[in-house]
């Protein structure tokens, strides 16, 4: 089945289950699934029940799409995402986001767990992503352009919407939540970074490093959807005094800090 057929067939399926509009779409990263529990559900569907969708294989990524109401807005929540390191191309990994264009979604909120490279960072900090450096050796727009979704050469100068970032910072102050702002560097994974790779990320201008998000932002901007994105800093790397970080520790910190991020995202959605 062609990409466009998969996309429009998925849209028809979701509409048949009661989806009428999407004000905000949200992608939940590692350990951040509990945010979905606050959604007043209209329906949920597993990714593997949607023909042509990839299947999530990573712990902490449940693999379900939830549609409902949150803070007075209609939301579509991706509880779990797909990654290049799972064996998918970034085009395959971002295919589920393509349904947002025919559904006329205007805003996409992305979350992830990331390793910090700034010494003043602490595990559990929330970083508002200002920009990214994509070092995943693939681009989700590689191959034939989907003309009905966006231009061949989309601009990325405003990848992370400035107006939405201002709103997020205002909401953080109102909620009494400390947030940082920085640059996210996307690497392919799944191995965690070496001390020299952490140092490289810092030298090229990164503040945090992870294995997702950048391809999703590229696809969203290709479709003209505004993006707001947050990283939960799960560990802080000192290249000169490296320490072991495990996926289990990442999930634990993300779960704990996720409650703060949930509160902030709710405030942002309410304020849109």
pLDDT 10s digits, 33-50: 677 888 999 999 999 899
Q: How many domains does the chain have?
A: 1
CA 84 to chain centre: 14
Given 10, 30, 127, 193, the catalytic residue? 30
State pLDDT tens for residues 78-119.
998 899 999 999 999 999 999 999 999 999 999 998 999 998
- Asked which of 156-160, 199-203, 241-245 is least confident by mean pLDDT, the reply is 241-245
CATH code for position 195: 3.40.50.1580
- Active site (annotated) includes residue 113: yes
83 is catalytic: yes
Q: For the residues 224-241, what does the mean pLDDT come to?
A: 86
Active site residue 235: yes
Query: Is 223 labeled as catalytic in the residue annotation?
Result: no
How many Å from the N-terminal Cα to the C-terminal Cα in the chain?
37
Please indicate whether residue 247 is annotated as part of the active site: yes
Q: Catalytic site residue 61?
A: yes
Given the residues 134, 231, 235, 255, the one annotated as active site: 235
> Alpha helices, DSSP H only, in 17-161?
90-93
Q: Which of 170, 77, 176 is nearest to 128 (CA)?
A: 170
Strands 24-28 and 40-46: unpaired
Catalytic residue check, 132: no
Q: Is residue 1 annotated as part of the catalytic site, yes or no?
A: no
Tokens linked to 76: 């579509």
Q: Are 156 and 269 in contact (CB under 8 A)?
A: no
Distance, in Å, from the CA atom of 91 to the CA atom of 223, rounded to the nearest integer, reads 14
Number of H helices, E strands in the chain: 6, 9
**Annotated catalytic residue within 112, 134, 212, 231:** 212
- Residue-number span of the structural domain to which 267 is assigned: 3-271
Active-site choice (83, 88, 168, 197): 83
Phi-psi region of 104 (alpha: psi -120 to 50; beta: other; left: phi over 0): left
Catalytic residue among 61, 134, 197, 254: 61
Catalytic member of 71, 86, 193, 197? 86
Checking DSSP bridges between strand 226-236 and strand 126-134, what pairing results, if any? antiparallel
pLDDT, mean of residues 248-269: 80
pLDDT of amino acid 195: 87
């Amino acid at each position: 089945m062609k990409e466009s057929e998969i996309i429009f067939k998925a849209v028809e399926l979701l509409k048949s289950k009661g989806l009428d509009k999407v004000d905000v779409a949200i992608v939940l990263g590692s350990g951040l699934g509990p945010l979905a529990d606050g959604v007043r559900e209209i329906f949920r569907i597993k990714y593997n029940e949607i023909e042509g969708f990839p299947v999530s294989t990573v712990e902490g990524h449940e693999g379900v799409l939830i549609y409902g109401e949150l803070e007075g807005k209609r939301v579509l929540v991706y509880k779990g995402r797909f990654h290049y390191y799972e064996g998918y191309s970034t085009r395959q990994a971002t295919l589920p986001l393509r349904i947002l264009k025919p559904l006329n979604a205007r805003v996409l909120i992305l979350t992830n767990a990331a390793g910090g490279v700034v010494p003043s960072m602490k595990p559990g900090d929330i970083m508002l992503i200002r920009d990214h450096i994509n070092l995943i050796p693939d681009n989700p727009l590689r191959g034939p352009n989907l003309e009905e979704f966006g231009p061949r050469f989309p601009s990325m100068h405003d990848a992370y919407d400035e107006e939405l970032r201002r709103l997020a910072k205002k909401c953080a102050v109102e909620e009494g939540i400390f947030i940082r702002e920085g640059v996210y560097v996307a690497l392919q994974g799944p191995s965690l970074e070496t001390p020299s790779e952490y140092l490289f990320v810092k030298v090229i201008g990164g503040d945090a490093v992870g294995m997702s998000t950048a391809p999703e932002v590229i696809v969203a901007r290709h479709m003209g959807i505004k993006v707001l994105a947050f990283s939960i800093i799960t560990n802080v790397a000192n290249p000169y005094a490296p320490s072991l970080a495990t996926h289990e520790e990442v999930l634990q910190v993300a779960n704990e800090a996720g409650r703060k991020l949930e509160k902030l995202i709710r405030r942002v959605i309410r304020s849109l």
